[in-house]
Amino acid sequence: GESVGLHLPTLSVQEGDNSIINCAYSNSASDYFIWYKQESGKGPQFIIDIRSNMDKRQGQRVTVLLNKTVKHLSLQIAATQPGDSAVYFCAERGFQKLVFGTGTRLLVSP
Amino acid sequence: NAGVTQTPKFQVLKTGQSMTLQCAQDMNHNSMYWYRQDPGMGLRLIYYSASEGTTDKGEVPNGYNVSRLNKREFSLRLESAAPSQTSVYFCASIFGPGEKLFFGSGTQLSVL
């Protein structure tokens, strides 16, 4: 809905730049992490995931990095496009449940 | 293949009214979830159903009830709506542990 995204941290980039969205997670026992993209008025869509036994995973134009030492997750988007404008959420799985972060809004200017 | 379907998309209620949010998935998923999304709060789990015939409380269950009607359908009921329940509600489903969640398109609920 339109109320999603108020009070969110925002990253503004130019089209063609690389974007890096960061996420700190809380549970050192979490074993699985996911990034979701949410466009206005839509439900979250899966982008990429990573298990705790990995520190990097690449997809099409996206890379997820996991630093378990500092409990930090990042999503890198290469050659950002206007269609990448959305709210991005990280989620961690601990104790069989997914816990979502509050999200970051990515704004891409042409 | 519709994925996860939620109805209605929008709803306005008066305080004290009741309503049921419907969710159905056609992916033969075992587990289904109801989340609410509020500004600055991320997605919070209300209830989930790990498999047909079971339901469990999530992080914010107060004021809600759920029914796992069959493997496909998982409904969320507000017995007496309150303004604090104004939110966007998402249903999601998953085949099994370690799989990614598939989300519906959401229900925007306003309680006046």
Q: Please give the full DSSP string across B4-20, using - where no structure is assigned.
A: EEEE-SEEEE-TT--EE
The one-digit pLDDT tens for each residue of chain A (110 residues) are: 333 334 578 999 999 999 999 999 888 888 899 999 999 888 999 999 999 999 999 999 999 999 999 999 999 999 999 999 999 999 988 766 788 888 999 999 98
Environment class of B17 (CB within 10 Å of its CB; exposed 0-12, middle 13-18, buried 19+): middle
Beta-ladder partners of B75: B67
Q: What is the pLDDT of residue A109?
A: 94
Percent of chain A having pLDDT more than 90? 69
Identify all chain A residues contacting B9, using CB atoms and an 8 Å cutoff: none
Q: Do A43 and B4 touch (CB under 8 A)?
A: yes
Residue of A30, A28, A35 lying closest to A96 (CA atoms): A30
- Shortest distance, CA B44 to any CA of chain A (angstroms): 7
Q: Do A98 and B101 touch (CB under 8 A)?
A: yes
Q: What is the pLDDT of residue B1?
A: 58
Identify all chain A residues contacting B35, using CB atoms and an 8 Å cutoff: 100
- Shortest distance, CA B111 to any CA of chain A (angstroms): 14
Which chain A residue's Cα is nearest to B49?
A97
d(CA A30, CA A21): 20
Nearest to B106 among A1, A8, A34 (CB): A1
Percent of chain B having pLDDT more than 70? 97
Identify all chain A residues contacting B104, using CB atoms and an 8 Å cutoff: 43
Cβ distance B27 to B102 under 8 Å? yes
Give the pLDDT confidence of A58-85 residue by residue, as tens digits: 999 999 999 999 999 999 999 999 999 9
Residue B41 gets the label, from left (phi > 0), alpha (psi -120 to 50) or beta, of alpha
Q: Which residues contact B57 (CB under 8 A, 6 or more apart)?
A: B47
Inform me whether the pLDDT recorded for B18 exceeds 80. yes
Nearest to A43 among B38, B44, B90 (CB): B90
d(CA B65, CA A92): 25
Q: Do A100 and B42 touch (CB under 8 A)?
A: yes
Q: Do A6 and B104 touch (CB under 8 A)?
A: no
Residues of chain A whose beta carbon is less than 8 angstroms from a beta carbon of chain B are 1, 3-8, 32, 34, 36, 41-46, 49, 89, 91, 93, 96-98, 100-103
Cβ distance B54 to B68 under 8 Å? yes
